[in-house]
A and B are shown apart, each in its own frame.
Chain A
């Protein structure tokens, strides 16, 4: 009887303590993340005057998003983000797999190479962008090196070239984050039992066969993590574009992304300087939220189904 009473009083104390303990974190998180996010989604269905909600507008913000003058910006940015994602998948997560495999095959030096490869990832994208902007500038060291090697003549203007700029930004982003796939793949490879590789070797599989037919199917969880992270990061891409090409995604919007477009609509640099269109910005935000949410769920499911159980 007494023990029962003691447990129930302990339960009551615990409930009270739990609320007190959780409250500070929950309050900060709810006030500065959940509330503004919910209000932004809700606000995308309203007409706005400056920073004030005026009246319910149904889906009119969304339909404005897809037509002139916003349509061209939207489709442009959507395409740049998509290209960015596939570029990162091939150049960052593809080359990263090769590097991780090479490190996995060598017992010596793996920690050193991993540390070097990952270092740019702890730097701010602003620093990375600023550094590469200086290196790639006309008169910069890359121009000097290419001219010296006879691979290029005259002034290097890749960042001012609307056909080349986006590709350069994707390459800089891959340089920035190459260490991430290397670390995640090597962690995944080390979890695979050595017996599997031994067995494959006995069957006469070479290194390439071993990577693609044996290791890769077992790396599905790692590939899933990387694909999802790369998807979220590329569709949130802002810093590198802002620092290297300006908030307009120069030249002539060729490096514009959904978040730089969102920023211009929300904080004013679209069309005439200082003009904002909050309704349009929030509609774009809601759309991006849906793209990210649905895309992430689909990817997680896709890779979950392809995870090989042993």
Chain B
């Protein structure tokens, strides 16, 4: 009824009434994109040019800053470390969490709820507060200054969220699925990895995306566990650059651009999954 009443109004006044709303949306879009635009164009400018020409396009699309960041500041090395740590943590988290979630969501064990609760309590635990004891533990295990150490810590932190997601997705699969396979003589390992896991691909991608973002971006644990330059990850290196190369703005802007490139690419490819994942769970941080 009322929808009709509105459409009776002339088109133009309806659009006019919406103008303030569009303006608000445009302002925040500019607030997000303008700093990122400045970041991108500044990568191609010398420091003098950054001062002279704040908003304009660079005089030439010179890659000097990127080359300097990659080699002189050795960001390339940090980049590879971050890739190894992120990849390792994503794989380890997915494998062990899927394994744990399978019996917890599909067997009748009598202790499913208790064990699931123990994992889920970890989603909220403020692990940074345990960093002193964690440091002692890592030192005793010989895992300081080690990418393996970072992979283990990140996996441990991400396991609760991953188990939660996998268990939710696996619980709703029909029970005939594994029963039929069991009749055919398939082992439990095969049932999990060849039948169940391919059925919960959305869960795998949610866990992979959010684990990758969290690990790639983390700064706190490299800060306390990594001292040797050879093992520093990108965010740790960036935090040093900002102070060290404070007069060479072009180089710092370029290193920021390099360090956000993988996330930007992933975001462009997977924006819809990310939006839906966050909207549904909010289980981002």
Residues of A within 8 A of B (CB): 11, 13-15, 17-18, 21-22, 24-26, 28-29, 31-37, 39-40, 43, 51, 95, 98-99, 102-103, 105-106, 111, 113-127, 130-135, 139, 141, 144-145, 175, 178-180, 183-184, 186-187, 198, 201-202, 225-226, 229, 232-233, 235-236, 238-239, 242-243, 259, 262, 266-267, 278, 281-282, 285-286, 288-289, 292, 296
Contact = CB atoms under 8 A, between A and B. Distances in A.
B28 interface: yes
Contacts of B249: 134
Interface of B: 1-3, 18, 21, 24-25, 28-29, 31-33, 35-36, 38-39, 51, 54-55, 92, 95-97, 99-100, 102-104, 107-109, 115, 118-119, 122, 124-137, 152-153, 155-157, 159-160, 163, 188, 192, 213, 216-220, 223-224, 234-235, 238-239, 241-242, 249, 252-253, 256, 259-260, 263, 266-267, 271-272, 274-275, 278-280, 282, 284-285
Contact of A262 (B99, B118, B129, B242): B129
Contacts of A122: 213, 217, 263, 266-267, 274
Nearest to A276: B132
A65 to B, nearest CB: 14
B47 to A, nearest CB: 10
B217 A124 contact: yes
Contacts of B160: 29, 33
B134 A281 contact: no
A135 B125 contact: no
10 contacts: A14-B107, A21-B102, A28-B92, A40-B133, A106-B18, A118-B275, A123-B263, A124-B259, A180-B284, A239-B219
B267 A119 contact: yes
A304 B196 CA distance: 34
Contacts of A118: 274-275, 278
A18 B25 contact: no
Given A22-B115, A36-B137, A132-B35, A124 B219 contact: yes
Nearest to B33: A116
Contacts of B109: 14-15, 18
A202 B235 contact: no
A195 B208 CA distance: 38
